[in-house]
Chains A and B, each alone.
Chain A
Amino acid sequence: METKQILDTIQMISEEKLDIRTITMGISLFDCIDSDGEKARQKIYDKLTTSAKDLVRVADQIESEYGIPIVNKRISVTPISMIAAACHDDNYVAYAQTMEKAAEVLGVDLIGGFSALVQKGYQSGDHKLIESLPEALSETKRVCGSVNVGSTCAGINMDAVKQMGQVVKELSEIDPVSCMSLVVFANAVEDNPFMAGAFHGVGEADKVINVGISGPGVVKRALEQVKGQPIDTVSETIKKTAFKVTRMGQFVGNVAAKALNVPFGIVDLSLAPTPSQGDSVAEILEEIGLQSVGAPGTTAALALLNDAVKKGGVMACEHVGGLSGAFIPVSEDSGMIKAVEHGNLNLEKLEAMTAVCSVGLDMVAVRGDTPAETISGMIADEAAIGVINNKTTAVRVIPAKGKKVGEQIDFGGIFGSAPVMPVNTNSPAKFVSRGGRIPAPIHSFKN
C-alpha cells in the first residue's frame, strides 16, 4: 500500500473528524407481545439484553483495533404502539422505562422506537402511545420517540399533526431539552440508524445491524483543494470523498455484523455534523462559495451536495438505506448556529433547504410561548414537502421555555446548543383545528 494512502486515511480520521456516528442494532419485538403488560415488558427486557449484550463490547473493540471512533452505540425496536396494543394498560410509560433500563444495563447511548405510525389513522395503541410521549420522554434519558404523520401513499393525517403540536408543547413545558428525543415524520423509513427517529420496521429481519456515517470535515477539506474550479469539479470531489467515507461505513458494518452474528442491513449515507469546529455541513456550503449559509444560492448548493454524496456513496456499499443525505440540524452544526446568531439564516430558508436534503427542521429552538397550533403548522408544512416530493421529512422542534429569540438552549455533547429562532406569528389555528386528512398527492402531472 502506498504511503500517501495510509497518511490520507489517518488524516481523515485524526484531523478531519471522520467517524462512524452510530452502529445501531435493530431488534424486532413482535415475539414479545403479550396481553399482560408486565409479561410483555419482561420479554422485551430479556430480548434486548440478550440480543445486544455484545454490541458495546464489539463496537469498542472495532474502535480500538481499527482506530475509527464510533461515537454512539444504539438500539432501535419495533414501534411500541404495535407491541403494546395487545395489553390493557392505560398508558405506555412503563414500556419506555423498560427500554431505558435495558439501554442502561447494555451501556448503549440511545434506544429508539417509542413510536407510532399514524399516517392514515390511529389504532388503539397509537392513541395511548402518543398520549404517553410527554411523560415517557421526560422521565427517561436514552429513549427516543417518533410519530409518522404522513406518507406519499396515504397523505397527511391532520388529526395527528394537530395532536403532535400539542404533544411537543406539553413535553417542552415539562422539560424543553427532552424535545430533542421526539421527531415527527412524513415518509419515515424503517431502517434508519439515526436518532431520534430510529425504529425497527415491520418488514425488517428479527435483528439487523445498520451503520450511520459522518464526515462533513472530510468533504470540506477535499473541497479546499478545488477552490474556484467549476461546479462539476465540486460535484466530482464530493462524490470521491463520499465514496471513501461510505467504504469505511460498509467495512465497519460488516465487521460488526460478523462479530455479533447478526445480518448487516444498510449504510446510511449521511453527512452528520457535530458542534465541533470543522465538522459542519454549513461550512461545506460556505466552502462551495456562499458568504454564509442562508444566502441566496444555499438551496442549490445543498441540493448539489446532497446528490453528490448519494452518487458517491451508492457505489461504495452493498446496501444503502436510512435517511441518506446531508443533515442540517441547527444545534449540532457550528456553522448553522453561527448563521442563525448573525441573522443570516431564518426558519423560512431552512424550510426551503429541507426540500432538497435529509431530513427537515431539525433541532430548531423556538420561543417557549409558541402556540401548539403554530408548531402543528410547521409540522404540516414539512410533512407536505416530504409527501409531495416523495422524500422523508421531519420536525424536531424545541419550544424553549422561558427563552426569548436569540437566547440559547443547551443540549449537551454532540447535540450542541441552539439559538431561539423567530417564528411567523400569524396563526394557523383554524386550518389546524379542521382535522381530517390531506389526501395522497397525484403521481402524475409533476410540475
Chain B
Amino acid sequence: MKAVITVIGHDQIGIVAKVSQRLATLKVNITDISQTLMHGDFTMMLMGEWDTDDVKFDVVKQGLLDLAKETGLSINIQRQELFDAIQKL
C-alpha cells in the first residue's frame, strides 16, 4: 500500500529522525520525502510504502498517531489514490 504522510508542527530537533524511526519500526519504506515551511510551520511530506499482508493500515496509522501525541506534531496519513483522483485528469 502507498500512503502520503504529512507532518506539520513547530520546528524542533530530530523531527525527521523521529518520524523515519517510527516508520522503520512499522516496516514502512519511505519512497519520497520533502519538507517546507508553510505559514511558519514545519511541513514534511513522505510517501510511504509497505506490505499490508505484513502490517495493516490501522496499525501504521495508530503508530503515527501515538508519535503525534508524544511529539505534539500533527501527523496525518492518507492512502495515495485519493490525491491522484482529485488532482489528476
Spell out A's residues near B (CB within 8 Å).
1, 3, 5-10, 12, 64-68, 244, 247-248, 250-251
Verify A251–B81 contact, CB threshold 8 A: yes
Verify A251–B36 contact, CB threshold 8 A: no
Q: What residues of chain B lie closer than 8 Å to A64, measured between beta carbons?
A: 57-58, 61
A65 and B79 alpha carbons, distance in the complex (Å): 6
Q: Specify the chain B residue showing the minimal Cβ separation from A14.
A: B76
Of B34, B57, B58, B61, the contact of A3 (CB 8 Å cutoff): B34
Q: What residues of chain B lie closer than 8 Å to A66, measured between beta carbons?
A: 78-79, 81-82
Verify A5–B85 contact, CB threshold 8 A: no
Report the interface size for chain B: residues with CB under 8 A from the other chain: 23
DSSP class of A's interface residues: helix, strand, loop or mixed? Answer: helix
Verify A251–B82 contact, CB threshold 8 A: yes
17 contacts between A and B (CB under 8 A): A1-B4, A1-B83, A3-B34, A3-B36, A7-B38, A7-B43, A7-B45, A10-B6, A10-B76, A64-B57, A64-B61, A65-B79, A67-B76, A67-B78, A68-B82, A244-B86, A248-B86
* Contact flag A1-B84 (CB < 8 Å), given A64-B58, A65-B78: yes
Q: What residues of chain B lie closer than 8 Å to A9, measured between beta carbons?
A: 82-83, 86-87
A10 and B5 alpha carbons, distance in the complex (Å): 11
Q: What residues of chain B lie closer than 8 Å to A65, measured between beta carbons?
A: 57, 61, 78-79
Q: Specify the chain A residue showing the minimal Cβ separation from B80.
A: A1
A1 and B46 alpha carbons, distance in the complex (Å): 11
A58 and B82 alpha carbons, distance in the complex (Å): 16
Verify A248–B6 contact, CB threshold 8 A: no
* Contact flag A5-B38 (CB < 8 Å), given A64-B58, A65-B78, A67-B78: no
Q: How far is the CB of A3 from chain B (nearest CB, A)?
A: 5
Verify A6–B4 contact, CB threshold 8 A: yes
B77 within 8 A of A: yes
A82 and B16 alpha carbons, distance in the complex (Å): 62
A244 and B82 alpha carbons, distance in the complex (Å): 11
Q: What residues of chain B lie closer than 8 Å to A244, measured between beta carbons?
A: 86-87
The 10 closest A-B pairs by CB, nearest first: A251-B85, A67-B78, A5-B87, A66-B82, A247-B86, A65-B79, A244-B86, A247-B85, A66-B79, A3-B34
Which one of B36, B58, B82, B86 has the highest number of Cβ atoms from chain A below 10 Å of its Cβ? Answer: B86
Q: How far is the CB of A185 from chain B (nearest CB, A)?
A: 32
Q: How far is the CB of A317 from chain B (nearest CB, A)?
A: 10
Kindly supply a per-residue 1/0 record for chain B positions 63-83, scoring 1 wherever the CB is within 8 Å of any chain A CB and 0 otherwise: 000000000000011111111
Q: What residues of chain B lie closer than 8 Å to A3, measured between beta carbons?
A: 34, 36, 45
Q: What residues of chain A lie closer than 8 Å to B86, measured between beta carbons?
A: 9, 12, 244, 247-248, 251
